[in-house]
Amino acid sequence: MKTHTRTIVAVAALLVSGLALADGAADKDTQDPVERVCIDSRLVRDFDALSDRHIVVQERRDNYYLLTTKNRCIGLRHALTIGLKDTTSRICSNRVGGEIIYRDFERLQRGCWIDTIVPVENKDEARAIVDEQEQHDRQEKQDGNDG
């Protein structure tokens, strides 16, 4: 595990108020035509950066969520610490404001906007989704260069 709970707790104390550790319960917003997933950042107990665009979050009840950022986040894969930030303790997919805050290998604090949150069964499923997405992106790039 790249990030230990103890390290995450230390980062929370250092970051601006509003930063909460993520281990959240997902719930559905029934008013949106597209199902929206939310995490209560106060419930998160563990993070694992899978790439520079993806982290998997585990909450206390062993619920897992794959978070994908809007853009590539330099150094996220090797982040020393990770936390979540929003105007409330609820971080929701497809809503402006949710942000991953992390310290990179140079100990610089960085942030990336969250694009999607997807419930997954476990870290292995999250890794499989990320691997499939990265393979798809490589294939599209290769197809674009061939054409």
Q: Which of 59, 49, 55 is nearest to 24 (CA)?
A: 59
Encoded amino acid at 143, one letter: D
Q: 51-94: per-residue pLDDT in tens?
A: 999 999 999 888 999 999 999 999 999 998 899 988 888 898 76
Collect contacts of 92-100 with beta carbons under 8 A, ≥24 apart. Answer: 92/29, 92/36, 92/37, 92/38, 92/39, 92/117, 93/36, 93/37, 93/38, 93/117, 93/118, 94/34, 94/36, 95/36, 100/55, 100/67, 100/69, 100/73, 100/76
Supply the pLDDT for residue 107.
84
Supply the pLDDT for residue 31.
43
- Does 12 have pLDDT greater than 80? no
Supply the pLDDT for residue 34.
57
- Does 146 have pLDDT greater than 80? no
Q: Which of 7, 2, 47 is nearest to 23 (CA)?
A: 47
- Tokens linked to 41: 């950042």
